[in-house]
Structure 1
Amino acid sequence: MRAPHRLAFFLATVVLMASAAWWALVQFDRLAGLGLPYAVMPTLTHAAVMTLGFIPLFFAGFLFTAGPRWLNVDPPSAEEVLPALGAQAAGWLLWLAGAHTHWVVACGGLMGVAWGLASVTVRFVRLLATSPSHERLHAKAIATALVVGCACVAGLGVSVALSQPALGIAFVETALWGFVVAVYVTVAHRMIPFFTSNAVPMADTWRPNWVLALLLGTAAFEAATVWIELFVTSSGAWMGKRAIVEISAGSLLAWLAFRWGLVQSLKIRLLAMLHLGFVWLGIGLVLGGITRVAGVFAASPVLPLAWLHAVTMGCLGSLMLAMVTRVSCGHSGRSLVADNLVWTLFWVLQAAVLLRIAAAMSAAPVQALLLLAAVVWCGVMIAWGLRYASWWGRPRADGREG
C-alpha cells in the first residue's frame, strides 16, 4: 500500500476528473450564456491544466515505479513523495478556482505546482545520479524533459502575473513538446517494443537509439517552432519548411508503428491500445503539415487546433489510458488485460477525439461539437478514473506488497 504509484495515480485522477468537468462546464457556458466570470483566459487555463496538470502526476507514479527498476535503485515510498505530489494536485485545483476569481489565486496555485514538480525532478535526478546501471539513456532523457517542464511552469506563472496570455500559451506549448511529448516518446521507445515482444510470438524488441533520437528530435523541433513563430518568423517559406519536417516525421512514425507490431498487436486489447495511441502521433504530425501547407495558400492559419488535438487527445490521452491501466492491473495483482469496460471507454475516447477534430474543421455548429467532445471526454475520464481509483486504495488481489 506504500507504493508511490497509488498516491500519484489517485491525485492525477482527481485533477483529471476536475479539469474534464470544468472544461465541459466552460463549453456549456459558451453555448448557453451562463455568464461565468473569468480572471484568467479560459483557453490558457485549459491548455495549462490539460498539459501540465494530471499528466506529470501520472508521470511521477510511473517514474517512481518503473524508473527504479530501470536504474537498479530503491524506489521512494508514498510518504516520501506525498508533499511534492500533494502540492501539484492542490496547486492545479487552486489554478482552476483562480481562473474564475483572481489571477493572484491562480498564480498561487502555480507556485505550489512549481515547487512540487521541481521536487519530483530533484528526486528523480538523485535516483539517476546514484544508479549503478549502465543503461541510463532513457532516464537521462526523461530527467532533461522534467527540467524543461519546471522552467515552463515558472514561465507560465510569470506570464499570468504580467497579463501576457500569448506568452503563457507559448510556455504551455513548449511544455507540451519539450516535456510531456518528450517523456511519452521516451517511454514508448523503451516499453512498447518490450511489451510487444513479450506478448506477440516472433516479435523482437527493436528499439535502436536512432529511433529515440528521431522521436526526441521531432519533439524538440516542435518546441522550437513555438518561439520561432512568436519572435522570428511565421512566413509562408517557414511554414512550408515546417510542413516538410512534420509530414516526413509523421510518415516515419507511421512506419515505426507498423515496425513495432501494430497489426499483430490488434489481437490483444491492452497492447492494441498502446499501439493505436502511438499511431495518433504520426497522424497528428501529418495533419499538422497539411495544415501548414493549406495555411500558405490561404494566407492565414487553417485548422490550427485539429492537428494539435490529434496529438493531445488522440496520442497522449490514449497512451495515458493504456499505460495507467496496464500499471494498475500489474501492480494490483490482476491480469494484464483490458476488460470490456476499459475497451469500450478506449473506443469512446476515440470518438471524442474525432468529435474535437471535426469541431476544428467544421464551419457550422462548432460550439455544439466542442461541447459534445468535452462531455464525452469528461464521461470517459470520470468512468475510467472511478474504476481504478477504487483499486489504488485496496491491497493487491494476490496478497503481495506493492
Structure 2
Amino acid sequence: MPDDRVQANKATLVAELPRLISAAPHRLLFAAGASAVIVSMLWWAIVLVGARSGWTLPAPPVPPGWAHALLVQFGMLGPFLFGFLLTVFPRWLNRPALARRHYVPVFAGVFGGYLLAHIGLLTGMPAFAAGLALTIAGWIAGLVVLGRVLLAAGRFDQHAASCYAALLSGAAGLIAFAAALATQRWLLVPAAVKLGTFGLLLPIYFTVCHRMVPFFSANLVPGYRMVRPAWSLPLLWLFSLAHLVLELAPMPRWLWLVDAPFALYFLAHSIAWQPWKARVSGLLLVLHLALFWLPLAFALYSLQSFVLFAGGETILGRAPVHALTVGFFGSMLVAMVTRVTQGHSGLPLVMGTVPWICFAGVQVVAVLRVLAETRRDPTYWFAVAACAWIVAFLPWVLRSLWIYASPRADGAPG
C-alpha cells in the first residue's frame, strides 16, 4: 500500500506539472529561458571546442557566429523578456492579470521556434527557417497581447511604452534576419544582430532597471532618495539609436562621440541610485553591481572608437560587446530573474547560495570573455568562457526549474 501511494503521488505530480508551470507567465517563460541558457551555450561551446579539436557538429545552415548572435539575443533572452513583461504590464497599467490563453501561445511560438531553429542547426535550413518563422509568430503574438494591455489602460506609461518600443525593434530584427535568409541579402544580418543588441536588449534592460532598481531600493533602504528622472528614457533611446546608426553606417571612428557620453550617462545613474546603500540585501546588491558593467562596456566602445579615430587599428575586438552582453545582460539576468522568482514564488527575498555562486561565476565568465580578445590564442579562451558559462549557470537553472515546477511556498495562487 505505501508503494501504491507513492506511485499515485508521483502520477499526480506529473499530471499537475503542466498546470503548475503555466500558472503564471513568468513561470512558463522563465522556465523556457532558463532551459535556453544551457542549450544555447552548450551548442556554442561544442562549436568552439570542436573548432580547436578537429571534431565538429554538422555544418549549420548559416555561419555559426550569426546563429549564436541571433539565438542568444532573441531565442535565449526573448522568453525572459516576455515572461517579465507579461507579468508586470498589467500591474504597471492597473489591468487584470493575463490568463493562460494570452501567454501560452507566446511561449509556444518563441520557445518552440527557438528549439526548432536549434534542430535546424543540426539538420539544415528547412528546420532553421521554420524555427525562425515560428519565433516571429510568437513574438507578434506577444506584441498583440501587450499592445491590448497598453490600449486598455487608456493612459501613457513611460516605462511600458519604452519596453514595447524595444519589443517592436526586436520584431524588426527577427524579420530582417528572415529577409536575409529569403533574399540572400546578407547585409541585413548585421542590422538584425545590432537591432537585437541596441534596439531590443539595451533599451528594455535599462528601462526595467530605471523603474525597478529605485523601487526595490526604496522598499528596503530607510530614507532612500528615489531618483527616476523623466528625461532618462528619451535620452537612452537617443543614445541607443545613434550608436545603432553609426554601427550600421558603418562609421566606427565616430562612435566615441556617442559612447563616451553614454558611458557617463550610465555611470551617473548608477551613482544616483546609491549602490553603497544596497548592502542591506543581497538581492538588491546584485542589481547595483550588475549596473557597473554598463559604463565599463561603453568606455571600452569609446576607447576602441577613439583609437580608430586617431588613425590606429582595432585593439579590443569584440570585447566591448561582450562586456555589454555577458557582463551586463548576463549579470542583470541572474539578479532580476532571481528577484522575481523569489518574490513570485512565495519564497524569502534573499539571494541564496546558488544564485550568489551563479552571479559570481558570470563575473568570471565576463572577464574571461573580455580579456580573451587580447590573448595570443583568443579562440582557446572563447571556448573556456563558453564552458565556464555552463558551469556557472547549471545549478541556478536547475534550482529555477524546480521552483517553477513547484507550488508557491506560501500557498497563494500564481
The TM-score by the shorter chain falls in which range?
over 0.9
CA distance in 2 between counterparts of 1:100 and 1:15 reads: 16
User: Can you list the C-alpha shifts for 1:200-255, whole angstroms capped at 9, x where unaligned?
Assistant: 222122101112222222222222223221xxxx3xxx62x321321121022112
1:176 maps to what in 2?
A: 197
Equivalent position of 1:33 in the other structure: 54
Aligned partner (choices 117, 131, 150) of residue 95 of structure 1: 117
Q: Cα offset for 1:79?
A: 4.2
Find the counterpart in structure 2 of residue 117 from structure 1. 139
Once residues 399 and 100 of structure 1 are traced to their aligned partners in structure 2, the CA distance between those partners, rounded to angstroms, is 43
In structure 1, the partner of 2:352 is: 339
Residues 1:144 and 2:162 aligned together: no
SS at match of 2:127: helix
Query: Cα distance, 1:104 vs. partner?
Result: 2.6
The list of structure 1 runs, each at least 4 consecutive aligned residues, that deviate by more than 6 angstroms after superposition, is none
What's 2:45 paired with? 24
Larger Rg: 2
Aligned identity (percent) is 30
In the TM superposition, what is the alpha-carbon distance from 1:166 to its structure 2 partner?
4.3
What is the CA-CA distance between 1:92 and the residue it aligns to? 1.3
Q: Distance in 2 between matches of 1:381 and 1:298?
A: 41
Task: Measure, in 2, the Cα distance between the counterparts of 1:54 and 1:258.
Answer: 30
Post-superposition shift, 1:135? 5.2
- Cα 1:256/1:215, change in 2 over 3 Å: same
TM-score using structure 2 length: 0.91
Corresponding residue of 1:213: 234
1:389 has 2:376 as partner:
no
Give the Cα separation in 1 of the matches to 2:364 and 2:273.
25
Match of 1:312 in 2: 325
Q: 1:280 aligns with which of 290, 293, 307?
A: 293
Residue pair 1:270, 1:326 contacting (<8 A) in 2 also: yes
Tell me if structure 1 keeps the 8 A contact 2:169–2:199.
Answer: yes
Specify the alignment match of 1:358 in structure 2: 371
1:373 aligns with 2:385: yes
Contact 1:97 1:106 in 2 (8 A): yes
User: 111-120 vs 296-305, which deviates more?
Assistant: 296-305
8 Å CA contact 1:174–1:226 kept in 2: the answer is: no
2:96 pairs with 1:84: no
**Distance in 2, Cα, partners of 1:58 & 1:8:** 6
SS of aligned partner of 2:389:
helix
Counterpart residue identity of residue 398, structure 1: D
Supply the distance in 1 between the matched residues of 2:239 and 2:204 (Cα, whole angstroms): 13
How large is the RMSD of aligned CA atoms in angstroms? 1.6
Letter in 2 for 1:338: M
Instruction: Letter of the 2:109 partner, please give it.
Output: A
2:172 and 2:195 in contact (8 A); partners too: no
The Cα of 1:296 is off from its aligned counterpart by 3.2
The answer on whether the counterparts of 2:361 and 2:388 sit within 8 Å (CA) in structure 1 is yes
Change (3 A) 1:101 1:298: farther
- Residue type at the aligned position of 1:217: L
> In the alignment, residue 184 of structure 1 is paired with which amino acid?
Y
CA distance 1:169–1:97, shift in 2 (3 Å): farther
The 1-side partners of 2:28 and 2:233 are apart by 30
Consecutive unaligned residues in structure 1, runs of 5 or more: none
Equivalences for 1:8-19 in 2 at 5 Å?
8-19=29-40
CA distance in 1, matches of 2:377, 2:156: 52
**Aligned with 1:226 (options 243, 247, 253):** 247
